């Protein structure tokens, strides 16, 4: 069966529209500061909830908000001699009980963190230095 040239051009045009409509991965970079109110808040939350990384006097913090989620989260960056770039990152979130906890079992080596892109089920992943982390159970784990 042969398609007429007109039919082929219609198929090509349809594919072009589909390609243009493909979603672009949405990534939200997180700004981490070492001074200011978010740092004071982060240190207080870490101290009150026994979160080790955030209790480091050199810890830096940034506020995070997942799209569509009204809850607030904190990214924390701390010096780490075990990491090649010298810093480790963690994310703290508040449970419905009011207590704060870590999203990682142990802080992850890295210097930049962002929210996104989405995984195949539509949930936001975390990206640290270009590596994607997805939530599995109670913690985020490396997926690439």
> Residue 3 domain-assigned?
no
Range of the domain at 124: 25-142
What pLDDT band is residue 17 in, cutting at 50, 70 and 90?
A: very low
12 pLDDT above the threshold of 80: no
> Residue 53 domain-assigned?
yes
Q: Using an 8 Å Cβ cutoff, are 54 and 92 in contact?
A: yes
> Residue 9 domain-assigned?
no
* Tokens coding 86: 């010298």
Dist CA 85 CA 130 (whole Å):
14
> Residue 19 domain-assigned?
no
Q: How many residues are listed for the chain in this entry? A: 144
Quote the pLDDT of residue 14: 44
3 pLDDT above the threshold of 50: no
> Residue 79 domain-assigned?
yes
């Amino acid at each position: 069966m042969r398609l007429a040239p007109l039919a082929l051009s219609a198929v090509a045009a349809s594919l072009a529209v589909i390609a243009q409509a493909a979603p672009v991965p949405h990534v939200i970079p997180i700004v981490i500061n070492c001074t200011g109110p978010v740092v004071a808040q982060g240190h207080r939350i870490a101290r009150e909830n026994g979160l080790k990384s955030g209790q480091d006097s050199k810890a830096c913090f940034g506020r995070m908000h997942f799209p569509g989620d009204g809850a607030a989260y904190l990214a924390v960056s701390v010096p780490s001699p075990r990491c090649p770039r010298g810093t480790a990152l963690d994310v703290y979130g508040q449970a419905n009980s009011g207590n704060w906890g870590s999203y990682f079992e142990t802080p992850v080596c890295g210097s930049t963190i962002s929210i996104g892109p989405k995984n195949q089920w539509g949930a936001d992943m975390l990206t640290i230095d270009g590596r994607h982390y997805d939530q599995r159970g109670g913690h985020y784990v490396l997926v690439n």
